[in-house]
Amino acid sequence: AAPPTSERPRVLITRRVFQDLQARLAEHFEVRDNPADAVWSGAELREQLAGCVGLMCTAGERVDVALLDAHPQLRVVSNIAVGLNNIDLRACAARDVTVTHTPDVLNETTADLGFALLLAAARKLSEAERYLRRGDWSKWAIDQFAGADVHGSTLGILGMGRIGQAIARRGALGFGMKVVYHNRSPLPAEAEQALGARWVTKDGLLAEADHLVLVLPYSPASHHIIGAAELAAMKPGATLVNIARGGIVDDAALARALEAGTIGAAGLDVFENEPALHPALLAAPNLVLTPHIGSGSMATRRAMVGLAVDNLIAALGCGPDAGRPPA
């Protein structure tokens, strides 16, 4: 039989999640949650984590040395995200804190959003819609909102992990695109053949791509990997899409490049200081913006939360000793 609530190990969920999935945690743990879905400061998170052996959090919360040192009882961090750049993995490893995340379940949904942004940016959908809503449409014109073709063009992908490969499949099979990619290491030849994709250097990628999609994890090594010099090296009419993490693109440099016509268009789902946006982006032309909704279909968000719940239960174990180091 389940132990009484008072004896159960305590876990914290930092944001409001689906109640039926949260209930699975309550079968094993005393769950402290955030029904108001408030965004906690670092200090508030530190306070809320008191006595918790498990933490289920999102990419919006930082798990750093200060938090870990304040909570030596913490055993598991279950991130409701595939990206782990909000967590100091080295500090967790040094303290024997297990870290889990939610890969795979969001690949196709995130690739869908990448393609939506690519199509919307290349074909100027946001600008065209704003024009209609303003009541500015008075006549059809031959070059009105004439953008760049996506079908039959060259798709560049920076970061060829699982989401990158899902983007490649959409481009090659759905839109007859030639696919080039850059990744630290090339895929095995059979995988390249199946995807119809070819490894190129980073410089080659910038030079060849008509449309470039960024799908690599954020790390100090990928900080501003697309900055002024890289934007200048892209084709003049090219489209840039970032569905990975803010900070991979230098947002100020991108705004300048769009303003100057260095590249043709861009679509961004992630930003350097989100939820704040660089003010220059709001004024930049040919730019489609979405608020970090890459994995945001209801089915995929449920799959992510379900997996994060399972990960937390599996990593902590069940019963009154859950999360206690073995004697």
Angle at 57 between CA 56 and CA 63, to 5 degrees: 110
Q: Give the residue with the Cβ less far from ligand DGY, 81 or 160.
A: 81
> Minimum Å distance from CB 105 to ligand DGY?
9
> Minimum Å distance from CB 65 to ligand DGY?
22
> Minimum Å distance from CB 297 to ligand DGY?
12
Helices 107-122 and 125-133: angle between axes, nearest 10 degrees: 60
Cβ-Cβ contacts under 8 Å for 226 (sequence gap 6 or more): 158, 214, 240, 242, 248, 249, 250, 254
Q: Give the residue with the Cβ less far from ligand DGY, 61 or 210.
A: 61
Is 245 assigned a catalytic role?
Answer: yes
Say whether 154 sits in a helix, a strand or coil. Answer: strand
How far, in Å, CA of 194 to CA of 160, rounded? 14
> Minimum Å distance from CB 83 to ligand DGY?
3
Set 192, 224, 274, 324: catalytic member: 274
Set 28, 75, 292, 301: catalytic member: 292
Q: Give the residue with the Cβ less far from ligand DGY, 84 or 258.
A: 84
The dihedral formed by the CA atoms of 259, 225, 238 and 236, expressed in degrees to the nearest 10: 60
- How many CB atoms are closer than 10 A to CB 278? 18
Cβ-Cβ contacts under 8 Å for 313 (sequence gap 6 or more): 24, 25, 28
Is 274 assigned a catalytic role?
Answer: yes
**Interacting residues with ligand DGY (CB under 6 A):** 59, 81-83, 106, 294-295
> How far apart, in Å, are the Cα atoms of 265 and each of 73, 117, 130, 172, 255?
49, 10, 16, 21, 10
How many residues does this entry show for the chain? 327
Set 8, 75, 245, 301: catalytic member: 245
Is 223 assigned a catalytic role?
Answer: no
> Minimum Å distance from CB 101 to ligand DGY?
7
> Minimum Å distance from CB 86 to ligand DGY?
8
How far, in Å, CA of 12 to CA of 56, rounded? 6
Structure tokens at 166: 């899902």
Q: Give the residue with the Cβ less far from ligand DGY, 60 or 186.
A: 60
How far, in Å, CA of 53 to CA of 181, rounded? 41
How far, in Å, CA of 211 to CA of 286, rounded? 14
Nearest to 243 by CA among 140, 166, 142, 298: 166
Q: Give the residue with the Cβ less far from ligand DGY, 226 or 238.
A: 226
Are 25 and 309 within 8 A, CB to CB? yes
> Minimum Å distance from CB 110 to ligand DGY?
7
Q: Give the residue with the Cβ less far from ligand DGY, 87 or 97.
A: 87
How far, in Å, CA of 277 to CA of 132, rounded? 25
Q: What residues act catalytically?
A: 245, 274, 292
